[in-house]
Each structure stands twice: as structure tokens, then as C-alpha cells.
Amino acid sequence: MNLKTSTRSAKEPADKSDPPQRTIVLAVTGASGSVLAVEMLRTLEADPRVGRIHLVVSPSALRVLAEETGAGGRHTLVEQLVGARSTKVSLLAHEDIGASIASGSYPVDAMLVLPCSMGTLAGICHGMASNLIERAADVCLKERRRLVLCVRETPLSLIHLQNMLSATQAGATIFPVVPSFYNHPQTVADITRNYVHRILQHIGLPQPGAYEWGAKAPAKSTK
């Protein structure tokens, strides 16, 4: 994916009569699928209902981002990923366990770990809190806030499956990186967008133009 070609920009801030803007944590870990995190970040940036996005990128995620998108270096990372200057996104250091989102007293509406590696899944479901991503997720679980783990690995070992069960029992949603095909995607961008839309629908931020089964019958070939 060429990150430089994006033309998307942030929309106007929400109207004063709208409900309070949401604060979302987006954690990116070193599983494959970093393009999904880029799409998520851009969609959140463009959503006027979202006021703040706290972005945490693990060192392994930086490695995978470089491999899969060509993005590199922390200094201009947000600009590279958003495709423009952002007023909403703050990049927090992976090792900064003193950051705002490390405390339950800081209000957060939802945390997405996208993509979520098996290593981070293990750390979260065992309450390790050994870096900011694990700690912020731990806070979401103890405060009963939405925590969505977009796990990605294949095949899955018994350890992975047990960890997903533990995370679910603790209150997280396992939202595996699995594409859908019933919406007739034509491109990788279609698959990516649809996946991101499904997550946002799940956390109460339905997107305009999102595919809805039953809303419109797919066009039938007449040939």
C-alpha cells in the first residue's frame, strides 16, 4: 500500500448539539495486517464523532508496518499513517506506563488492538500489563470498557485458542482478522474497508456507506 497517495482529510468537528466526542485507543501490534490499522486510523480521523485517538504502536508493529506499508520512523509516523496532519491523533510511547490511558481515571470509550498478535493476546489475557498496550487493555477490562482484540494468526494453537477464551471471559471481544465475501468485495481495499466498518459498527460508530446485509439485494447477472 502506498501511504503517500491518500487524499482523505479530517472532516469538520461535530456540531455542538451532538453527543460528546469519543476517545478511542488504537493499539497496533506486530501481527500481519497493518494496512487494517491504517484504514482504521484514517476512518476514525475522518469521523466527526471521534474527538481523540490515542495511538500506541509496538516495536514489532513498526517492523511489520515497514514491511507491509513502507511506513517508517516514529517522528512522522502519524502523518504517514493518517495521510495528512492530524489534530486528533496522539502517539503514545509503548513503554510509557505513565501515559493517560494507563489509568482508569482517564475516560476512554473503546480500545481496539488492530492487528493483535498472539504475544499481545497472551499478555492481555494473563493481565501482564508489562507495556502500555497491555496496561491500557487491562484498564479497559477492569473498568468494564469495550476492548476489541483483532487477533491474527494461522493456524491457531491450543494456547492461542485458550487465550482467546480467557480474554472473552474477561470481557474482551475477539474480532479475528477474517474477511467476509458475501458483500462481493472486488479489491483488497473493499475487504479492508468492510472489516473496519464491522468493528466500528460493533463499538457504536456505524459508518455511512457500510455494507448491510439485506439492505439492498446484490445485482443479478442477466447473462
Does residue 127 belong to the site contacting ligand FMN (CB under 6 A)? no
The footprint of ligand FMN on residues 157-186 (CB under 6 A) is none
Give the shortest CB-86-to-ligand FMN separation in angstroms: 22
Q: Tabulate helix, strand, coil % of the chain (nearest 5).
A: 35, 15, 50
Residue 153 touching ligand FMN (CB under 6 A):
yes
Considering beta carbons, is residue 152 or 197 the nearer one to ligand FMN? 152
* Out of 10, 24, 26, 31, the residue judged to bind ligand FMN by CB under 6 A: 31
Q: Which of 3, 14, 49, 60 binds ligand FMN (CB under 6 A)?
A: 60
Rank residues 102 and 205 by Cβ distance to ligand FMN and give the closer one.
102
| Site membership for ligand FMN, residue 203 (CB under 6 A) | no
199 by DSSP, 3-state: which?
helix
- Which triple of cell numbers denotes residue 66? 515497514
Q: Look at the alpha carbons of 120, 191, 84, 112 in this order and tell me if their dihedral is positive or negative.
A: negative
Helix (H, G, I), strand (E, B) or coil at 214: coil
**DSSP string of 164-190, one letter each residue:** HHHHHHHTPEE-------TT---SHHH
First to last CA, the chain: 35
Q: Can you tell me the distance from the alpha carbon of 102 to that of 221, in angstroms, rounded to the nearest whole number?
A: 53
In the complex, what is the shortest distance from the CB of residue 54 to ligand FMN, in angstroms, rounded to a whole number? 17
124 binds ligand FMN (CB under 6 A): no
61 binds ligand FMN (CB under 6 A): yes
Stretch that binds ligand FMN, among 5-13, 28-36, 72-80, 163-171 (CB under 6 A): 28-36
Q: Which residues contact 74 (CB under 8 A, 6 or more apart)?
A: 57, 62, 91
Smallest separation (angstroms) from ligand FMN to the CB of 40: 16
> Is position 67 an interface residue for ligand FMN (rule: CB under 6 A)?
yes
**CB of residue 174 to ligand FMN, shortest distance in Å:** 13
The C-alpha cell at 77 is 509516523
Does the protein bind ligand FMN through residue 118 (CB under 6 A)? yes
Q: Which residues of 107-127 are buried (b: 16+ CB within 10 A; e: fewer)?
A: ebbbbbbbbbbbebbbbbbee
Residue 29 makes contact with ligand FMN by CB under 6 A: yes
Binding site for ligand FMN (CB under 6 A): 29-32, 58, 60-61, 63-64, 67, 117-120, 152-153
